[in-house]
Amino acid sequence: MAENSFPLITRDLSWLSFNYRVLQEAKDPTVPLFERIKFLAIYSSNLDEFFRVRMANHRNLLRVGKKTKKELEFSPKQIVRNIQEVVTKQQEEVSSIFENEIIPELKKHNIYLKRRLDLNEEQREFVEDYFKDHMLPFVQPVLLVKDKIRPFLNNAALYLTVLLLAKDNPEAPHEYAIVKIPSDHLPRFIKLPSPENRHDLIILDDIVRHSVSWMFPGYDIEDTYSIKLTRDAELYIDDEFAGDLIQKIRDSLAKRHVGPASRFVYDREMPEELLESLKDVFDLEKYDTLEEGRYHNNFDFFKFPDFGLTQLKDPPMSPLPYRDLEGAKDFYKAIKERDHLLHYPYHAYESVVRFFEEAAVDPNVTHIKIIQYRVAKRSRIMQALMNAVRSGKQVSVFIEVKARFDEEANLVWGERLEKAGVKVHYSFPGVKVHSKLALVRRLESNHERMYAYLSTGNFHEDTAKLYTDMGLFTADKRIVSEVARVFSYLETVKQPPQPFKHLLVGQFNLREGLEALIDFEIRKAKAGKTAKIILKMNSLQDPTMIKKLYEASQAGVNIKLIVRGICCLVPGVKGLSEKIQAISIVDRFLEHSRIFIFYHGGRERIYLSSADWMVRNLSYRIETCFPILDAKLRREIKDYINIQLRDNVKSRLLDEESTNDYYKNGSDMAIRSQVETYYYVKRKLDNGAKQGGNSK
């Protein structure tokens, strides 16, 4: 718990607790085997990003020597120590899950991960031929000579360190070398010649281990140990407000993969003498090193071969059509008649794609506007925008090029769109644009009519199959006029002529609007009236908002939180937060929607949003929080939230100790919210078909 006038859980430790919930899915025997392997990959991928971003920041503070609490609100040294302790413990569990659970389960299905000493003669010949034919040009063996040879380790690349003894002088001290494991060029899992009805595999690392003696003639190989270095991913733009920001981002991207070390991982079996030598060669401090198991880069498990054994995967939950839009003869008339709310990935994303494809060819459409934060590599939406320009439409795209790890892809898309004639607007200095908005303007009977799409998630056709999000199609003038104001601001950087009345928009009224809604509940509770708040989000970290929620709890407001990731609020503290209950749901889909429900004296206010409650979202981003004005859609969202609150299969209780205990709500029936939601949406679809096509 961080020192403060009120209790807070340290952000990074809360995040590590979330990543442990991902690891819980890998250890859950009820999860299909290949999905457990996938969750190992997700855990590893998450952790890599954490070290490249968050841990890199703490280590930079350590390097410059800022240690006092007067300079910072925390001690970087203590934070780094705490993180290392937690991650080391988790990595021991990762190794145990893989060795003691995953490998035995694979064997039950005739899948064998073989090490080099387990190979039969045919497989040894195969491995040796594979090394010579495919790997030899990439392994780059290097002898490590103190103070003379200091090779550069590529970011996240895998290497073997080799413990050598000279054959002609066995009494001489050990020598050391490194060899690259070329997983950036070749598959990590190689299929071996196998008997019928059996699948033998070898990990690429072990092919290098088998072949390493050929690379060092004159030496005996005493042992090998794997290592990996991840590098700081921050772009470090000196001054966003001066010069060409886009060019600065391009220049910084070129340097990202040569940044300072953020984590050096090594096989925990490595001798101390070798580790100390490596620290010296690569100029590493103790706080740069972290022990793991025999293998690193477990995110390569994303590509673990499935051998066609689909029964070892999650059963299909194919996205369901939203017939009221997908099947509409007049797409925009269907939106004009009423608002439409879609739930992804339970609904297909086709309606969103059609929104743009229809606009591109509709002769009555004059303008199309969209905000892009992350975009698919192959995007029908982007193609529709380029087609729209060719059809004479005015197309405006705001591209946020500071979307971490998507900067380069967004710059590439920006160039393609500009070449096609699209008007592209780029990032603001000092502020990220994170709103998920689109707007289409049509001329109907010589009058202007606007249609908007507002969402909790990105315009990304791929993640729409994996992330739970909600999207609203509307022609309601109260909403679309304010969406148009957001775009006008992004295009002109001029204060909107009218304030936002319905939307809550970052940099304008978002933080104040949310605080006002909480204050309303506080006043009602103090007056002895019913007061309730339900909040669903990815992260809750903003200290001001947490303090406000504590105040609400103390006043008697009942608060339920569903927070997937970081939760710095401490629920259930007597006299402070005993009216607050917090859960987290981690399952096959990534929970991504942000939903805020305020009882508001019985006249419920329900909002969907692009914003989590973090300092960066509420203070340094253009975010959008939009109300659901249609009563039927509000009931639908409440149904969805109630299903989540009843989850007693994939829901974990959030508490100060980060125990991640599974939440048991006393129900005799197992309720898994993502499965329940899918069938909730399916029932509405089937009932709509029976009633003549109205899927609502």
User: What are 86-137's pLDDT values in tens digits?
Assistant: 999 999 999 999 999 999 999 999 999 999 899 999 999 999 999 999 999 9
| Rounded mean pLDDT, 514-527 | 98
Q: Are residues 285 and 345 in the same domain?
A: no
Q: Are residues 61 and 102 in the same domain?
A: yes
What is the Cα–Cα distance from 135 to 184, expressed in whole angstroms? 11
DSSP state of 613: B
* Structure confidence at residue 411 (pLDDT): 86
Stated as kind and residue range, the H or E segment containing 361 is helix 350-361
User: What are 364-377's pLDDT values in tens digits?
Assistant: 999 999 999 988 88
Domain with 482, as residue range(s), is: 323-498
> Which residue, of 271, 304, 337, is where some domain finishes?
304
Q: Are residues 241 and 337 in the same domain?
A: no
Q: Which segment of 85-89, 161-165, 246-250, 452-456 scores lowest on mean pLDDT?
A: 246-250
Q: Give the residue, 148 or 284, on which the prediction is more confident.
A: 284
Q: Which residue has the tokens 């190992």?
A: 40
Q: Are residues 141 and 273 in the same domain?
A: yes
> Which band of pLDDT confidence, cut at 50, 70 and 90, is reported for residue 245?
low
* Structure confidence at residue 1 (pLDDT): 44
* Structure confidence at residue 657 (pLDDT): 85
Is residue 73, in this structure, part of any structural domain at all?
A: yes
Q: What is the mean pLDDT of the chain?
A: 91
Q: State the Cα angle at 545 between 539 and 551, rounded to 5°.
A: 130
Closest C-alpha among 586, 587, 609 to residue 514: 609
Is residue 263, in this structure, part of any structural domain at all?
A: yes
- What CATH number is attached to the domain comprising 480? 3.30.870.10
Is residue 314, in this structure, part of any structural domain at all?
A: no
**How large a percentage of the chain has pLDDT more than 90?**
75
* Structure confidence at residue 58 (pLDDT): 81
Q: Are residues 118 and 262 in the same domain?
A: yes
Please state the domain count of the chain.
Answer: 3
Q: Are residues 554 and 631 in the same domain?
A: yes
Is residue 22, in this structure, part of any structural domain at all?
A: yes
Contacts of 70 (CB under 8 A, 6+ apart): none
Q: Does the pLDDT at position 336 exceed 60?
A: yes
Q: Does the pLDDT at position 7 exceed 50?
A: yes
* Structure confidence at residue 517 (pLDDT): 98
> Which band of pLDDT confidence, cut at 50, 70 and 90, is reported for residue 467?
very high
The three-state DSSP-derived secondary structure of 256-325 is HHHCCEEEEEEECCCCHHHHHHHHHHCCCCHHHEEEECCCCCHHHHHHCCCCCCHHHCCCCCCCECCHHH
* Structure confidence at residue 114 (pLDDT): 95
| Rounded mean pLDDT, 503-532 | 98
Is residue 79, in this structure, part of any structural domain at all?
A: yes
Q: Are residues 137 and 20 in the same domain?
A: yes
Assess whether 502 carries a catalytic annotation. no
What is the Cα–Cα distance from 228 to 182, expressed in whole angstroms? 12
Q: Does the pLDDT at position 244 exceed 90?
A: no
Q: Does the pLDDT at position 688 exceed 80?
A: no
Q: Does the pLDDT at position 638 exceed 50?
A: yes
Of 8-12, 522-526, 685-689, the range with the highest mean pLDDT is 522-526
Q: Are residues 355 and 276 in the same domain?
A: no
Q: Are residues 350 and 488 in the same domain?
A: yes
Q: Are residues 297 and 339 in the same domain?
A: no
User: What are 411-451's pLDDT values in tens digits?
Assistant: 888 899 999 999 999 888 888 999 999 999 999 988 999 99
User: What are 191-237's pLDDT values in tens digits?
Assistant: 999 999 999 999 999 999 999 999 998 899 999 999 999 887 665 55
| Rounded mean pLDDT, 148-175 | 86
Q: Are residues 469 and 523 in the same domain?
A: no
> Which residue, of 450, 475, 498, is where some domain finishes?
498
* Structure confidence at residue 67 (pLDDT): 46
Q: Are residues 215 and 71 in the same domain?
A: yes
Is residue 286, in this structure, part of any structural domain at all?
A: yes
What is the Cα–Cα distance from 420 to 403, expressed in whole angstroms? 23
Among candidate residues 340, 434, 460, 592, the one labeled active-site is 434
- What CATH number is attached to the domain comprising 141? 3.30.1840.10
Is residue 311, in this structure, part of any structural domain at all?
A: no
Q: Read off the pTM.
A: 0.92
> Which residue, of 434, 466, 498, is where some domain finishes?
498
Q: Does the pLDDT at position 600 exceed 80?
A: yes
* Structure confidence at residue 689 (pLDDT): 60
* Structure confidence at residue 73 (pLDDT): 58
Is residue 309, in this structure, part of any structural domain at all?
A: no
